Amino acid sequence: MIVEGEKPGEDEEALWYLRRLDGGLFTLQTVDYILAWSTMEDDGVGHACTQPLKNKKANLEATPDPITYQANARPEE
């Protein structure tokens, strides 16, 4: 813990950076999960998500399966 006015050392800066990175990655994975689920459940959302891919001659097969990844990453209850 850093006292007010004290400059953080390299270890504290590295730890803070890793915490921010982990927090951002969690947010990105959660948004990805919600988008994947919405695409799967709603045809309108699915069309809106796949149309830009079609314009670039790509498809959803080229993307990883975020729902399976998130489901496997969750702790057992």
Number of domains the chain is built from = 1
- Look at residues 72, 66, 76 and name the one whose alpha carbon lies nearest to residue 37: 66
The answer to whether residue 7 sits within a structural domain is: no
What CA–CA distance (Å, rounded) separates 27 from 66? 13
pTM over 0.85: no
The residue range of the domain holding 50 is 33-72
The answer to whether residue 24 sits within a structural domain is: no
pLDDT at 10: 81
Written as one string, the DSSP assignment of 18-61 is HHHHHHHHHHHHHHHHHHHHHHHH-HHHHHHHHHHHHHTT--GG
How does pLDDT run across 22-74, given as a tens digit for each residue? Answer: 878 778 878 888 888 888 888 898 888 888 888 888 777 766 676 677 667 66
